[in-house]
């Protein structure tokens, strides 16, 4: 043992040392300044990394081991506190660089607005991109109390950028009446309450297409993920979310990137949310990065 | 903006200003002095109000918006600490006034004993009243260690007042042997463990009748509602309780009042219980107040 | 009331005073020094006892009352901090004494390694013993970072002692690839993810045999039992674990002992885990001690 | 080691087995039903016992060891939930029995009202009794919202029973204007804010007299004892309370009993309050029981 | 009791009903979007109000009762999430209206940046205004990572607006080297670590002048106020802060407004911080509003 | 910004990249397997690092900035769970390597036993070493329940190795009678309760000598550091510990290494302990590494 090689669990378990050689890159987006209820998801990425120490590196679900996925944990993007516009620009530029280098981007939030600049960069590279959006909330507002840059607007922006017919939402159980009307009239796909059953119908239709998958941890019932800003009773279980991740892995779609957002450790005294999140990240790595 | 009109989230979200004009009235019953295990439900009503700030005002389940229900949040009844008898008398009188004015009473507990004086007032107005009781516990004791006024006795008292054949209990998974025997022999209805399936059978039988619905939050598994005094493992999920509320809303019974009791914030560090409770209250308002 | 007879909830509810006359003995094994992630299960047994005060003494599931089971709560075995070998020896000797006296041993952990010395003593008395192992983790390692005495090894050791064909694992969702391979190749039984369904198939095969049942609380999803060292998302519910306990009680196997391990109160701020655990212990007593 | 002799930390550390032979008796008074703010002190006595496991048995302050004090922990008096009058009667009777047998009573609360029946019994035996009352609150109300039996009234009742000139309050920093006026006009002694300095003046005056000492944990600043129902900023430190206990021990008064009340574990997530309380109890035993 | 007059603790204890007639107005500024470490102070004002229920209405320190101060709690200003500039503009306008009407403004934060717009409005009315700033942090940055609107800049902005010689900081124990240099060179007053002693020297110099007093709760050691975003070890005690408030009350300065900021309930599981804060607010009302 | 250079707060704030060139090295010793009460200090080092993000890099106490100290955070030594002997051997070897390379060792615990192997390595290099030991506990046991390798023994072992006359303990307020007797008879220095005053007397005597300083966080009162395994009421304040660190920095002794041990995040829900600890580490770096 050399004195400067002590293990410290600084990064997601089994992250490689060489970023340039990696196939996939994990990065944090520690932003929570536009949330309307309980802030704190800025600390999500680092606590997910920390909790990964308790994970096995092997998945019995997928019969695959993290040593089979060449990934690099790059840490958090240093976003400027309280400035949504500059934060978004930095994220878009960062993802652009990753995509240029051919990396699979796997992001950790932070509030859901971070997905918006990621999608802009993804869509630039993949003009036929589709989005799978797993969430308790529609996130289809045009603005939130006058602010177009809000954690309530990213999916609406995605619809406007890519065309609503390429956006597929699952597990939705909260939103304004106007958002549900927009979903119905715009031609986007929206499945209320459930994830697994509707996914079974949608995945075959997306076969062969590049797809970005964004998961808001609050799609889970607060029983399974209390550590989130806007908890919403009546959600799915961890078992169901695992099944959804595995169905996506086993389908014929081409996953080209993904994220897990809205983990807020301040409301997670038992650490159960970050522990579950770190397992979801492991399964996303093992199932989606080929 | 006038200086004295700042929003403060002091009441349940979208409470109207004019109590006299309202169709329904929310009121708290901050009493917990007869509980045998962990006290603290006296703080339940105010924390449920506070958590309502995080709610959408629209329900995608019922396709209805809180602006369609004219309700008033009256605050908490100022019950005297440590005096069960006087507390009960005050509640009965308070509900009597509400009913005289034709209001729909929607109560927030507080321990379950608060339902007893409410039922006395309701029965006085509706002699053909039936009670739907959703709970983990039988609450059928005649007394608790010598005390007839106890959180373990309200449903027994209801049976004695109204006749056991008008009382319907659901989700029950804890009680003394004598309580289960009483339930069996008295002719009341008692469904063990489950709520949704047995409700399907009972609701048609109550068609057209005035019904009071009392929900003890501990019918939920502690995973979904840890913030309660007497948590009891093996309960239903938030999804199932939402379904029960919606089934009642869609049935042909005439809901004439209801309550949600036993929310105890001291055992709810993540706020998941009060957040779920505020959603249940929203659905009760939207589904039961026509 | 004599002054020295005040009730204090020092022991599991309804424990008898006379250990010699009891049919079953509850004992704690407050050891957590080999765990690899979050320690603290040494405090599990006493908090389970404390939480038992909130329990009814009657089970509506089994229609049986604790007064029908003559049991004695002996307290915790005074294990030496930080010394796994001596701790294991003390436990083995303690169980040996219990078995000599014809007591049904019901142990409370403590980390899962405590089950290893119990099994040694049980196997000595019952050479045709089978083991039912309900857990999230395989616990089939040969060693953990060089240590053969580890919370990751007890089931492997049991396989080696008794023959793998007498070991039945349920609910498993985490382990090394090598452990799952061992399970497959050795001839032991291992059911992934589920407990209730696979138990239905296994119980008839064990009819008439003496069986020891060890339950690791982390077989539950962290939603139901956050208070454990190595929480693992995607588990079963409290309802399912109750059903498993009841199926075992109703089967034709001869339960000769059991334990419930890995309850760690430091991660249980709502006390929901210890409250659930105390209910499981009540059902184990009522269902398994004839 | 006999199987039924395992140590379990059920009682205060080093409690003797034989109550009849003991010089001092520890007993809990788990009552909290008249409190006006945050209930939960009913669980105080058992958590103080549990925390005592972490204590050394020797005090470097007093150079005395618990083996030098023959005491017995009798557990909690089984008080009836929600019934203040019966609870008070039971406590008075219990203390009466203790005093008849010549035991030194050391009580653990519970709310402060429990001190009232203790004082009645003490005064009956010691007609020249004085009371040292260490607390943040005056507790001098005649009634609380119409209730004469309230946690806000015990010291007033003591004044009325024994004469205000025999009551000495220290550390007081909260109360109604009328209470402070009563203190001034009645002739009782009341030291605002501080404890140690005023005690120095008072102790010599009480030399030779029998004195009962009641300590409300909320005399400490909430920094030192957050786990109490009615925390009051601006209090003394643990060091100062220890000094007060030691000054009383070293004085020429004859301590004939004492209590420590209002420890409420639900507001004590770090256990710092119960840990401190268990140390205060050790020092009271070592310093006051000769 | 009319049905719509139930007490609910919605506002600070003893707030009057009539805002127009009040001498002083309490208002919340629920903003936390520029903080660099732990957000959550947006919930501070409402939790301080809630905790005020546990307060006595009389202060033994000042021998004054809340019924002697005619104040009105106006609730929270509805600030737009994530938009610092608009939030600041709203606050400035709000305070302007208050001052026009001759009200004494007493603000509850929220992050410390909220004090900046308040000072702009105060300075406009009182050109000879001085500021007493009690805090752990200098808050003298010109910008924070490029953002001039940050919780680290309000006092610098005050210096630039009013002249540094009118700004007096106390209790400071954290900041950049450049901030301490600015303090030294600019001519402002800065007392490191302590509050009470330096105040004794400063108050006479400010005699007769209008003074605004801003208190950041983190001037307290985290032992006394853990519930704040940027806790800083080595601070003063609650007793010392009370003494400072009382010294200001007893001095010859003319307090024309004040605030208490940075209370963040998410880091306050025992509620000790909000309980202490509500007491400080009571003393500010009783001592500063003549 | 390169994609692989994102900041992630993985190490103590301002740690340099190049370990070989550093003057001082921070390393964690995540061991807690011999503790007798509440385990969990294994997670201390990483939480202290994480909390350092909230620190300023400049100390107004010492007028020095972290950029003036060339240090490297090497992470945690990978100690084997549950094996005290191997853990101790690894630490001794690790420190040996550090000292060979001329680094100043600054260790983070972990339980206090980790200091023992550090002292062995230090003494080997500095035969005239003295030890300053700041702690609530004597740690002078010869063994703990038969185990010589225990968190209660490191200072005794140091006395035996180096001679008791070279060991100086401060702040001690808990231990066995035998330990205090040993301290008195052996010739070591032991100051009860206080730290600052006795240090003033001792430091001049140690002028010019190489001194290792070990700080157990539990020397603080639990009000200031609840997050520790064996909290002990009646301790010093954070202000006093800062003063002690600064006095040592300003003295004429030659500090040759130091550690801060026993931080246990599981008992620190507000993070106040890790936040304070990270500040102490900053001051140790700035004051002791010349």
| CATH code, domain carrying B245 | 3.40.800.10
Residues in chain D: 290
pLDDT band at C5 (very low <50, low <70, confident <90, very high): very low
Q: Do A176 and B58 touch (CB under 8 A)?
A: yes
Helix axes F154-162, F115-125, angle to 10 degrees: 20
Average pLDDT on C24-47 reads 91
E39 reaches A (C-beta below 8 A)? yes
Q: Do A3 and F90 touch (CB under 8 A)?
A: no
Question: Does the structure show a pLDDT above 90 at B10?
Answer: no
Report how far residue C12's alpha carbon sits from residue C54's, in angstroms, rounded to the nearest whole number: 11
D181 reaches E (C-beta below 8 A)? no
Question: Which H or E run contains B284?
Answer: helix B272-288
Q: Any idea which of A32-41, E95-104, F25-34, F64-73 has the lowest mean pLDDT?
A: A32-41
Confidence (pLDDT) at E148: 82
Question: Does the structure show a pLDDT above 80 at B1?
Answer: no
Question: Closest by alpha carbon to F285, among F36, F107, F145?
Answer: F107
Share of chain F above pLDDT 70, in %: 97
Report how far residue A54's alpha carbon sits from residue A278's, in angstroms, rounded to the nearest whole number: 9
Smallest CA–CA distance, residue C60 to chain B, in Å, is 7
Classify each residue of A74-93 as buried b or exposed e, where b means 16 or more C-beta atoms within 10 Å of its C-beta: bbbbbbbbbbbeebbebbbe
Confidence (pLDDT) at C4: 53
Contacts of C223 in chain B (CB under 8 A): 223-224
A224 reaches C (C-beta below 8 A)? yes
Report how far residue D131's alpha carbon sits from residue D155's, in angstroms, rounded to the nearest whole number: 9
Question: Does the structure show a pLDDT above 60 at E2?
Answer: no
Average pLDDT on A23-39 reads 91
Question: Does the structure show a pLDDT above 60 at B3?
Answer: no
Q: Any idea which of A259-268, E247-256, F143-152 has the lowest mean pLDDT?
A: F143-152
Q: Using DSSP, state whether E83 is helix, strand or coil.
A: coil
Contacts of A87 in chain E (CB under 8 A): none
Contact assessment for residue D107 and residue D29, using Cβ atoms and an 8 Å cutoff = yes
**A27 closest CB neighbour out of F6, F10, F28:** F6
Question: Does the structure show a pLDDT above 80 at F54?
Answer: yes
pLDDT band at E120 (very low <50, low <70, confident <90, very high): very high
Smallest CA–CA distance, residue A38 to chain E, in Å, is 7
Smallest CA–CA distance, residue A224 to chain C, in Å, is 5
Average pLDDT on E214-222 reads 98
Closest residue in D to C77 (Cα) is D6
E276 reaches D (C-beta below 8 A)? yes
Q: Strand pairing partners for E213?
A: E132, E258
Share of chain B above pLDDT 90, in %: 84
Report how far residue F95's alpha carbon sits from residue F107's, in angstroms, rounded to the nearest whole number: 10
Contact assessment for residue C138 and residue C175, using Cβ atoms and an 8 Å cutoff = yes
Smallest CA–CA distance, residue C37 to chain A, in Å, is 6
Q: Do C233 and A280 touch (CB under 8 A)?
A: yes
What single-letter DSSP state applies at residue E38?
-
Helix axes F44-51, A44-51, angle to 10 degrees: 160
Q: Any idea which of A32-46, A57-71, F177-191 has the lowest mean pLDDT?
A: A32-46
Tell me how far CA of residue E170 lies from CA of E173, E200, F169, in angstroms: 9, 11, 35
Q: Do B10 and E10 touch (CB under 8 A)?
A: yes
Contact assessment for residue B19 and residue B285, using Cβ atoms and an 8 Å cutoff = no
Report how far residue D63's alpha carbon sits from residue D70's, in angstroms, rounded to the nearest whole number: 16
Handedness of CA C146, C150, C151, C152 (dihedral sign): positive
C239 reaches A (C-beta below 8 A)? no
Report how far residue F223's alpha carbon sits from residue D117's, in angstroms, rounded to the nearest whole number: 33
Give the position of tokens 């039924």: D4
Max CA distance (Å), chain C: 63
Q: Do F7 and A78 touch (CB under 8 A)?
A: yes
Q: Is D250 exposed, middle or buried (0-12, 13-18, 19+ CB in 10 A)?
A: exposed
B238 reaches A (C-beta below 8 A)? yes
pLDDT band at F21 (very low <50, low <70, confident <90, very high): very high
Q: Any idea which of B36-45, B250-259, C278-287 has the lowest mean pLDDT?
A: B36-45
Structure tokens at C225: 């039992």
Report how far residue F84's alpha carbon sits from residue C80's, in angstroms, rounded to the nearest whole number: 13
What single-letter DSSP state applies at residue B14?
T
DSSP symbols for E224-286 = T---STT--SS-B-HHHHHHHHHHHHHSSSEEEEEEEE---GGG-TT-HHHHHHHHHHHHHHH
Question: Does the structure show a pLDDT above 70 at F87?
Answer: yes
Average pLDDT on F161-165 reads 97
Q: Do E37 and F53 touch (CB under 8 A)?
A: yes
List CB contacts of A58: < 8 A, sequence separation 6 or more: A64, A65, A66, C175, C176, C177, C180
Question: Does the structure show a pLDDT above 90 at B119?
Answer: yes
Q: Do E177 and F58 touch (CB under 8 A)?
A: yes
Q: Read off the pLDDT of residues C189-238 as tens digits, 9 standing for 90 and up.
A: 999 999 999 999 999 999 999 999 999 999 999 999 999 999 999 999 99
Confidence (pLDDT) at F2: 54
Confidence (pLDDT) at D37: 83
C268 reaches A (C-beta below 8 A)? yes
Q: Do C81 and F145 touch (CB under 8 A)?
A: yes
Q: Read off the pLDDT of residues C136-167 as tens digits, 9 standing for 90 and up.
A: 999 999 988 777 888 889 999 999 999 999 99
In a domain, F135, yes or no: yes
Q: What is the dihedral of CA F267, F270, F272, F278, to 10 degrees?
A: 90
Closest residue in F to D67 (Cα) is F177
In a domain, E4, yes or no: no
pTM, 2 dp? 0.93
**A222 closest CB neighbour out of B53, B58, B275:** B275
Question: Closest by alpha carbon to A166, among A122, A105, A223, A106?
Answer: A122
Q: What is the dihedral of CA D127, D131, D137, D139, to 10 degrees?
A: 0
Report how far residue D204's alpha carbon sits from residue B201's, in angstroms, rounded to the nearest whole number: 78
Average pLDDT value for chain F: 94
**How many Å separate Cα E220 from the centre of its chain?**
13
Please indicate whether residue A5 or residue B40 has the higher confidence score (pLDDT).
B40
Report how far residue D273's alpha carbon sits from residue D260's, in angstroms, rounded to the nearest whole number: 12
**Structural domain count of chain F:** 1
Torsion angles phi and psi, residue D190, rounded to 5: -140, 115
Confidence (pLDDT) at E1: 44
Pairing of strands D58-59, D64-65: antiparallel
Structure tokens at B58: 């629209």
B65 reaches A (C-beta below 8 A)? yes
Q: Strand pairing partners for F216?
A: F261
Q: What is the ipTM of this complex?
A: 0.94
D40 reaches B (C-beta below 8 A)? yes
Q: Read off the pLDDT of residues B211-251 as tens digits, 9 standing for 90 and up.
A: 999 999 999 999 999 999 999 999 999 999 999 999 999 99
Average pLDDT on A88-94 reads 96
In a domain, F9, yes or no: no
Smallest CA–CA distance, residue A90 to chain C, in Å, is 33
Closest residue in B to A230 (Cα) is B54
B9 reaches A (C-beta below 8 A)? no
Contact assessment for residue B136 and residue B151, using Cβ atoms and an 8 Å cutoff = no
Question: Does the structure show a pLDDT above 80 at B5?
Answer: no
In a domain, B256, yes or no: yes
Contacts of D60 in chain F (CB under 8 A): 172-175, 180, 192
pLDDT band at E151 (very low <50, low <70, confident <90, very high): confident
Report how far residue C52's alpha carbon sits from residue C46's, in angstroms, rounded to the nearest whole number: 10
**E77 closest CB neighbour out of B6, B50, B98:** B6
pLDDT band at C287 (very low <50, low <70, confident <90, very high): very high
Smallest CA–CA distance, residue B270 to chain C, in Å, is 9
Interface test with D, best of C5, C7, C8 (most D CBs within 10 A): C8
pLDDT band at F147 (very low <50, low <70, confident <90, very high): confident
Smallest CA–CA distance, residue D45 to chain F, in Å, is 18
DSSP symbols for C118-130 = HHHHHHHH-TT-E
Q: Do F58 and E269 touch (CB under 8 A)?
A: no
In a domain, A85, yes or no: yes
Question: Does the structure show a pLDDT above 60 at E69?
Answer: yes
Smallest CA–CA distance, residue E102 to chain B, in Å, is 12
Report how far residue E157's alpha carbon sits from residue E191's, in angstroms, rounded to the nearest whole number: 19
Interface test with C, best of D1, D2, D4 (most C CBs within 10 A): D4
Q: Residues 10..29 of F with a Cβ closer than 8 Å to A: which?
A: 10-11, 19-20, 25, 27-28
In a domain, C13, yes or no: no
List CB contacts of E147: < 8 A, sequence separation 6 or more: A80, A81, A82, A83, E34, E84
B53 reaches C (C-beta below 8 A)? no
In a domain, F134, yes or no: yes
Question: Closest by alpha carbon to D89, among D101, D100, D76, D80?
Answer: D80
DSSP symbols for D197-222 = HHHHHHGGGGTTSEEEEEEEGGGB-T
pLDDT band at A150 (very low <50, low <70, confident <90, very high): confident
Structure tokens at C75: 């307290």
Classify each residue of B239-274 as buried b or exposed e, where b means 16 or more C-beta atoms within 10 Å of its C-beta: bbbbbbbbebbebebebbbbbbbbbbbbbbbbbbbb
The number of beta carbons lying within 10 Å of the beta carbon of residue C184 is 10
Helix axes B177-186, B154-162, angle to 10 degrees: 20
Q: Any idea which of A177-191, B210-224, C117-131, D148-162 has the lowest mean pLDDT?
A: D148-162
Contact assessment for residue B129 and residue B123, using Cβ atoms and an 8 Å cutoff = yes
Smallest CA–CA distance, residue B165 to chain D, in Å, is 30
Interface test with E, best of A36, A79, A82 (most E CBs within 10 A): A82
Contacts of A150 in chain E (CB under 8 A): 81-82
Q: Could you tell me which chains touch chain F, where touching means 3 or more CB pairs under 8 A?
A: A, C, D, E
Classify each residue of D174-210 as buried b or exposed e, where b means 16 or more C-beta atoms within 10 Å of its C-beta: bbbbebbebbeebebbbbbbebbebbeebbeebeeeb
In a domain, E209, yes or no: yes
Q: Using DSSP, state whether E76 is helix, strand or coil.
A: strand
Contacts of C86 in chain D (CB under 8 A): none
List CB contacts of E164: < 8 A, sequence separation 6 or more: E186, E187, E188
Classify each residue of B98-111 as buried b or exposed e, where b means 16 or more C-beta atoms within 10 Å of its C-beta: bbeeebbbbbbbbb
Report how far residue C30's alpha carbon sits from residue D193's, in angstroms, rounded to the nearest whole number: 43
Contacts of E237 in chain D (CB under 8 A): 221, 223
Q: Could you tell me which chains touch chain D, where touching means 3 or more CB pairs under 8 A?
A: B, C, E, F
Q: Phi-psi bin for D104: left (phi > 0), alpha (psi -120 to 50), beta?
A: beta
Confidence (pLDDT) at E188: 98
Smallest CA–CA distance, residue C136 to chain A, in Å, is 12
Structural domain range at position E35: 24-288
**A269 closest CB neighbour out of F28, F74, F269:** F269
Interface test with C, best of F78, F82, F146 (most C CBs within 10 A): F82
Pairing of strands B58-59, B64-65: antiparallel
Report how far residue E285's alpha carbon sits from residue E275's, in angstroms, rounded to the nearest whole number: 16
Report how far residue C257's alpha carbon sits from residue C213's, in angstroms, rounded to the nearest whole number: 7
pLDDT in tens, chain D (290 residues): 455 544 444 689 999 988 899 999 999 999 998 888 889 999 999 999 989 989 999 999 999 999 999 999 998 898 888 889 999 999 999 999 999 999 999 999 999 999 999 999 999 999 999 999 999 999 999 988 777 888 889 999 999 999 999 999 999 999 999 999 999 999 999 999 999 999 999 999 999 999 999 999 999 999 999 999 999 999 999 999 999 999 999 999 999 999 999 999 999 999 999 999 999 999 999 999 98
């Amino acid at each position: 043992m050399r004195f400067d090689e002590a293990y410290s669990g600084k990064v997601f378990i089994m992250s490689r040392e060489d970023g340039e050689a990696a196939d996939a890159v994990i990065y944090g987006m520690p932003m929570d300044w536009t949330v309307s209820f309980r802030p704190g998801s800025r600390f999500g990425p680092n606590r997910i990394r920390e909790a990964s120490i308790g994970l096995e590196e092997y998945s019995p679900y997928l019969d695959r081991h993290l040593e089979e996925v060449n990934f690099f944990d790059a840490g958090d993007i240093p976003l400027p506190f309280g400035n949504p516009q500059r934060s978004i620009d930095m994220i878009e530029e960062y993802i652009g660089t990753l995509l240029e280098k051919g990396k699979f981007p796997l992001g950790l939030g932070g509030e859901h607005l971070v997905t918006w600049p990621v999608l802009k960069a993804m869509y630039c590279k993949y003009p036929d991109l589709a989005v799978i959006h797993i969430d308790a909330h529609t996130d289809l507002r045009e603005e939130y109390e006058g602010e177009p840059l809000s954690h309530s607007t990213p999916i609406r922006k995605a619809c406007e950028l890519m065309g609503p017919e390429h956006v597929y939402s699952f597990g939705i159980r909260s939103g304004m009446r106007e958002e549900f009307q927009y979903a119905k009239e715009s031609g986007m796909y929206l499945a209320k309450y459930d994830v697994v059953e509707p996914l079974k119908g949608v995945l075959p239709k997306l076969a062969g297409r590049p797809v970005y998958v964004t998961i808001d941890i609050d799609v889970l019932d607060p029983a399974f993920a209390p550590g989130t800003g806007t908890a919403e009773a009546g959600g799915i279980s961890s078992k169901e979310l695992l099944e959804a991740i595995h169905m996506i892995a086993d389908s014929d779609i081409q996953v080209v990137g993904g994220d897990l957002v809205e983990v807020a450790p301040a409301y997670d005294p038992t650490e159960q949310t970050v522990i579950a999140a770190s397992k979801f990240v492991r399964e996303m790595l093992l199932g989606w990065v080929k």
